[in-house]
A and B are shown apart, each in its own frame.
Chain A
Amino acid sequence: MTITVSPIFLYNVVRGEQEAAELWDGITDKQLADWEGEWVPELFKAVQKLHRAGVERGRWPQSRHWNWRTKTETLQGMLAHPGFSIVCNGMTQGMMIVDTTTKRCRIGEQKGKNLVYVEFVENAPWNRPDLAQSPHYRGIGSVLVRAAIALSIDEEFKGRIGLHALPQANSFYANTCGMSDLGIDPDYQNLRYFEMTPEQAEAFIAKGNQP
């Protein structure tokens, strides 16, 4: 498996400055080891904290059930399902798997056209504002959305992307990314479906990195 590594920057919240990081166009054993050795225990602690604080189960992070090893192994080598990851300070900070083939656009003006559909995207627990009191790095979601847009352009889909958002991320996709909110999808776990047009993709890319 050949991985292309591209230089990017994340915002280090603790130091209050940009920090050099890497975007990998794949999910490797390193990412899975980071997930098993660092993410899972951290997520477990965060869920335990929520439980002890009396937060109802429905408001716990829904991605706690995701098994990145199973997902990655199932889709390994499949051209239709490329993966991406972000590494900063030697640690995996975010991962994403997309589908470039089976999904189609829903917005009227681009209905039926191909798009890059974001199947799974997750931030390391210590970067999530809903889990960590002071997140370590910001900008991971934006870099991954930009990677999905870049792939969409490379596939000649003109930047069109789509995804179903976990409730904790609705505001990020609507407000930060400027995607169209097509409402609750009763056929997909009642999650909200968001889609990006080429114009929205262009606007998001033009915005650049903002801490």
Chain B
Amino acid sequence: MATKKTMTLNLTDAEMRVLNDLCEKKDISKTAVLRQALRIYQLIESRVEKGDKLFFEDEKTKDKAEVMML
């Protein structure tokens, strides 16, 4: 596995609360949540840069809602 570097992160109480909630829900550490977030952010950015659009689809109704990336 690749070597890892340590960094300090400054978060507000609200951000920290969300991070803690995600850790609990996903049963993973804060580091793992933030690494996942980075992967998703990079993936979405690269697709949007290519001109792709991001949608959420309701599994039952198949209704689609576009997520506007600014």
Contacts and interface: CB of A to CB of B under 8 A. Distances in A.
B53 to A, nearest CB: 16
* Interface SS, A side: loop
A146 to B, nearest CB: 13
Contacts, number: 42
Give the interface size bracket for B toward A. 10 to 19
B1 A25 contact: yes
A25 B42 contact: no
A155 interface: yes
A154 B1 contact: yes
Nearest to B38: A79
A100 interface: yes
A101 B39 contact: yes
B51 to A, nearest CB: 15
A32 to B, nearest CB: 20
B33 to A, nearest CB: 9
B27 A101 contact: no
Contacts of A150: 1
A79 B45 CA distance: 12
A150 B46 CA distance: 27
Given A100-B39, A101-B40, A113-B27, 4 more contacts: A78-B43, A79-B35, A101-B36, A156-B29
